[in-house]
């Protein structure tokens, strides 16, 4: 996300719980000729979010693109402790609400050119038998997106939600490998078998959109 925004000419703030990881991304952006600043930020900490947006307002006065990419798989099954439940809600739901709501006025200042996006999951659309709690939290994001889009429409603020399937990120092994000793390859294969078209890289189509089998 940061690399793409920077490639489009944005002065990008890479905010991450890990300062080292944020700096690593800013270095990639700089190497590609873009501009970025690393910020250590806990997206569940409301005072820290306020300070972050105050910094952007001081330095730029406006925010054109705000993307919320915060999440955790949480515990699987239905036997979930209250502590684990609250943590999942904080990370997956509370962060999304406050990241967007506290940054809204800055995006509004983009005068019809502002966009808020957030990442949910296919688990928000069709559910997950492995982690109902994860589906609950990600489903909240899709509902929040619809509501925020209604709020933002009159102000010229677009609000959209991305619901991807499995993506190779550091969180993926945690999501599929909750059980000690779980075989990642088998788990991924089982998941992909549920997708009618299989993996995206294996789907080739002709000019009319018809699937073409690999030779």
**Residue 130 pLDDT:** 81
Residues 161, 120 contacting (CB under 8 angstroms) = yes
**Residue 60 pLDDT:** 96
Per-residue pLDDT of the chain (215 residues; tens, 9 = 90+): 999 999 999 999 999 999 999 999 999 999 999 999 999 999 999 999 999 999 999 999 999 999 999 999 888 889 999 999 999 999 999 999 999 999 999 999 999 999 999 999 988 888 888 889 999 999 999 999 999 999 999 999 999 999 887 666 666 656 655 555 556 666 666 666 666 666 655 444 444 444 444 44
**Residue 210 pLDDT:** 45
Neighbours of 59 (CB within 10 A): 10
Residues 36, 4 contacting (CB under 8 angstroms) = no
CA 17 – CA 35 distance, rounded (Å) = 20
pTM of the predicted model, to two decimals?
A: 0.80
Helix (H, G, I), strand (E, B) or coil at 35: strand
Give CA angle at 169 (173, 32), nearest 5°. Answer: 160
Secondary structure letter of residue 38 according to DSSP: E
């Amino acid at each position: 996300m940061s690399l793409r925004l920077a490639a489009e000419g944005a002065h990008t703030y890479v905010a991450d719980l890990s300062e080292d990881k944020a700096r690593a991304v800013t270095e990639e952006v700089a190497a590609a000729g873009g501009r970025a600043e690393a910020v250590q930020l806990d997206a569940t900490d409301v005072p820290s979010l306020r300070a972050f947006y105050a910094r952007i307002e001081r330095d730029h006065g406006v925010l054109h693109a705000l993307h919320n990419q915060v999440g955790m798989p949480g515990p699987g099954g239905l036997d979930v402790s209250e502590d684990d439940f609250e943590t999942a809600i904080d990370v997956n739901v509370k962060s999304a609400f406050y990241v967007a709501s506290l940054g809204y006025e800055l995006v509004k200042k983009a005068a019809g050119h502002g966009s808020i996006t957030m990442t949910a999951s296919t688990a928000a659309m069709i559910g997950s038998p492995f982690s109902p709690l994860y589906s609950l939290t990600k489903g909240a994001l899709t509902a929040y997106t619809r509501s925020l889009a209604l709020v933002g429409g009159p102000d010229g603020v677009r609000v959209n939600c991305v619901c991807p399937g499995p993506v190779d990120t550091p969180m993926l092994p945690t999501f599929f490998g909750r059980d000690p000793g779980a075989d990642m390859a088998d788990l991924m294969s089982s998941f992909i078998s549920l997708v009618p078209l299989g993996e995206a890289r294996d789907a080739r189509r002709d000019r009319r959109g018809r699937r073409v089998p690999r030779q």
